Structure 1
Amino acid sequence: MMYDTVLARSFSKNEQKKLGYWALLACMFIALSFFTIFKPYLGPLPVLNLRLSMGEDEKLHLFNDTGNPLLIAEENVTQNMKANDTSSSSQIIKEIVSEDIMYMANNTNSSLPKATDADVVKKNNRMEPLCTIRDRSDFCEIKGDIRIDGNSYNVFIVSSETDILAAENTSWSIRPYARKGDQTAMGAVREWTVKLVTRGSDVPQCTQNHSVPAILFSAGGYAGNHFHSFTDIIVPLFLTARPYNGEVQFLITNGWTPWIAKFKTILKALSRYQLISIDNRQDIHCFDSVTVGLKRQSRQELSIDPSNSPNSMKDFREFLRNSYSLKKTRAIKIRDGMKKRPRLLIISRKRSRAFTNVGEIVTMAKRVGYRVVVAEPDADVSGFAQIINSCDVVMGVHGAGLTNIVFLPENAILVQVIPFGGAEWLSKTYFEEPAKGMNIRYLDYKIRVEESTLIRQYPADHVVLRDPSAFWKKGWLAFQSIYLQKQNVTLDVNRFRPTLVKALELLHQ
């Protein structure tokens, strides 16, 4: 009140009104100045310009940054990685999530090329390889001046831009066999080194120049096993070589004559050129394009994931039918009144997991309504492929011989006999799941302990018969030595009969 009285005595009403207007304008000016000075920054953050670009295969180019170590981003794992600039100041921590395991250069100053770029990246006019790291296989796809020294197991990539290549060569170690993660298998695979080198360095001179691309792969690991030959080598080789339509040179490491002879039909169908055993050679083979290692798209055995590949198991099986001139494309479909009987193949074995009563099984199968063939796979892949392709149903105890289902016609049936001891997961992983991916219908039969010959080797209360899981706890070798290597099967034909009847019913559908 006192303030109003003093103001009234000092100024007239008009003067008071003018003073109020000026005070309001002054307040608005002050407020406008405040918001102008302290407004928030709404532009893009600089760190958001750092992007990781990936293509369909989620592959990342490898960079030769000798000043920074390579970081690894593991499959399906989110890792925080700190990038460092040349002044060693801290930069943003970037999360990287990927399907495969990929290399990333630890340098935020380097621009990352997209995975959809060419297979060879030019950084500072220098050729660099593109390597892909996956669960089951590593492989490098390289283009440029490539020289292969089989005596030292080196793959050299030579660049003519010697003045800007780093003093220290960049190298990658590759074991060209598609079963990475299995130490026993990979321990039997020769390691090759892919090196970036300058032309002025001590690089071997070409003695043989090739005009077609090359694929370098290994026949080591478990190649002596028929199943592993297909799942670790043949199927990945098909995926890697198929795009070249035969115009590709195969270079084999850990090659051995029996394996090459066994699969010569497949090798010749994928390449029009004579296979080169590259190990310990004194000559230097030179190419413009080389793939070191094989592409295995899936962790699943004997399978192709069509979502990650232009090919499928259907394509692979069609390729096999064409390669081996297999005539039967579809299993028989039984109709009422049809006199023709379906053909059943019983895969026999001479050693472990063999049927001890094949004669009884044959007699029962014929009574059910089958024509029966008994055969054992051998090194003659072509001959056995003809036999199994002529059949509608195949049965056998879990083992490598069942791999030959790849030659069965469409809609055929696999009956897998699962031995005693807890081999269900093996049977499912190795043959049940792959069979379904091949459009092969699947049945199985789990034997009881009474059908195992182990009851003749151990007393009834022995842990081998009473608690097989105890051997699983001891490890794979302990389980294998008993339940896979010492066991044969005496089928209870009366108990097994409904399984073959079920197969007949499926052939009616």
Structure 2
Amino acid sequence: MSTGISTLTVRDTGISQPLGHFGHAKIKMKEIEPICRVLEPRSDYCEIKGNIRIQGNSSTIFIASSHMSNSEGNSSWRIRPYARKENAAAMEFVRKWTIKLVAGHEDIPNCTQHHRIPAILFSLGGFSGNHFHDFTDLVIPLYLTSRQFNGEVSFLTTDYRPWWITKFQGILDGLSRHEIVNIDREEEIHCYPSVIVGLKCHKELSIDPSISLNRLSMKDFRQFLRSSYSLKRTTAIKMRKGEHKRPNLMIISRRGSRLLMNEGKISKMARRLGFDVIVADASLSTNLSRFAQIVNSCDVMMGVHGAGLANMVFLPENAILIQVVPLGGIDEPARKDFGEPAIDMNIRYLEYKIRVQESSLIQLYPLDHAVLRDPLSFHKQGWDAIKNTYLEKQNVRIDVRRFRTALLKALKLLHH
């Protein structure tokens, strides 16, 4: 650890609020170097080294400094350790943790559990349970934050969700060799040599290797997934002229909203073109190990914009994702959520934008209504109106002849 640090630099946002200040250069912190990064767009996190004591039942982390006198006062920060800080709705379900830098040992509890390995503290609240958010807010950031420790790290979970641990056990076991701690219920005072509070996060469903430690990338992450779930296929099928191989097409079937109303006709047409078709209920991904195997067996995945498309992380290299984009002027979030991440994963990306006649909204609104005629003008009513209308009320009935072109393009790509 570096020495001669004279000040602790903490930057402020609305979520992480400093409650005190340092006595400028008077504090010589040679034992600790906590750094809270709160200007990052996606997440706040603190990297702390030194004499650290965690009191789980009060959601407090104490950092003792023998180089700080009582007269110089204490300092404190509040962090919600979940990687979607810009979304107030998500952060409502995230416990707030206090990080306190204190003088000496007088005002902090004594250690009752000593640990020699570092720890990472993160929340399982927020939007956990939504498959897209499970990966983009939790799994990928946890991989990005913890991979440097090669399994020798303790995971401290706040807002504990036992079903989440069960679902992602295969991934968690690959990132830490140690038992996961439900830190909120702990009455012991856990002491660590270093702690990271919160998770590093770059962008939706992806990693930026230019700024990640050791230049980790989505290629590395997907290799980690293949190892964790013993996925056999590294590369999608390579079709050659004259061969009669049939690539596997997975249709992600949704429940509730954005249903593909004519799945049967799409499947029949795809089989005629030469695909073997698997219609997969995205809810099956609760058995992630089994579902990962099924996805990995496929060469093409298609589905209406939604959380189930996050399963593309298990596709082999050079596979193809076809995202069906519903009506509503949501092209940009569709590309941001799945189109751009697909490219980072070395997955070829095709987009099928539906027309008004393919939307179930024509049964709810007259053709001259702004919802159908000018969705972008409807956006002025805000995200809740967009979500309620275009994401929650809309189903899709694809024009089979028109969609045939997209599947033919996918077949052509599999020949290259």
Secondary structure of 1:279's counterpart equals helix
Tell me how far 1:466 sits from its aligned partner. 2.4
Indicate which of 51, 55, 79 corresponds to 1:149.
Answer: 55
Give me the whole-angstrom Cα distance separating, in 2, the residues matched to 1:323 and 1:256: 21
**Residues 1:464 and 2:408 are matched in the alignment:** no
Structure 1 counterpart of 2:76, which letter?
S
Write out aligned runs for 1:51-450 (5 A): 63=7, 72=11, 110=25, 123=28, 125-133=30-38, 134-161=40-67, 164=69, 166-296=71-201, 298=202, 300-309=203-212, 310=214, 311-378=216-283, 379-450=286-357
Return the offset for 1:126. Answer: 4.9
Partner of 1:488: 395
Give the superposition deviation at 1:167. 3.8
Shift of 1:418: 0.5
RMSD of the alignment, in Å?
A: 2.4
Q: Deviations over 1:317-360 (max 9, x none)?
A: 00011001110100001001112111100110121111111110
1:464 Cα offset (Å): 2.2
Q: Contact (CA 8 Å) 1:344, 1:392: kept in 2 or not? A: yes
Q: Which runs of 5+ in 2 are unaligned?
A: none
- Normalised to the residue count of structure 1, the TM-score between the two structures is 0.75
Measured in 2, the distance between the counterparts of 1:109 and 1:271 equals 38
What code does the residue aligned with 2:170 have?
A: T
Evaluate the alpha carbon distance shift between residue 435 and residue 451 of structure 1 in structure 2; reply closer, same or farther with a 3 A threshold.
same
Asked whether the 8 Å contact 1:62–1:131 carries over to 2, the reply is no
| Residues 1:431 and 1:374: Cα distance change in structure 2 (over 3 Å) | same
2:406 pairs with 1:474: no
Identity %: 56
Q: Distance in 2 between matches of 1:269 and 1:478?
A: 41
Q: Does the aligned pair in 1 maintain the 2:29–2:65 contact within 8 Å?
A: no
Write the distance in 2 (CA, Å) between the matches of 1:403 and 1:108.
48
Name stretches of at least 5 consecutive residues in structure 1 with no aligned partner: 1-54, 56-60, 65-69, 75-100, 112-121
Conservation of the 8 A alpha-carbon contact between 1:152 and 1:280: no
Q: Would the aligned equivalents of 2:258 and 2:394 in 1 still touch at CA under 8 Å? A: yes
Residue type of the partner of 2:306?
A: G
**Structure 2: how far apart are the matches of 1:110 and 1:211?**
31
Q: 1:392 to 1:148 in 2, by over 3 A?
A: same
Letter in 2 for 1:193: T
Q: Are 1:62 and 1:128, in contact at CA under 8 Å, matched by a contact in 2?
A: no
Q: How many residues align?
A: 404
Q: Would the alpha carbon gap of residues 124 and 397 (structure 1) be closer, same or farther in structure 2, given more than 3 Å must change? A: closer
What amino acid is the match of 2:149? Y
Q: Deviations over 1:437-495 (max 9, x none)?
A: 11000101111111111112223333322232233110011011011001111111111
Q: Which amino acid aligns with 1:453?
A: S
Shift of 1:127: 2.7
Q: Distance in 2 between matches of 1:73 and 1:287?
A: 26
Q: Partners in 2 of 1:241 and 1:228 — Cα distance?
A: 18
| SS in structure 1 of the partner of residue 58 of structure 2 | coil
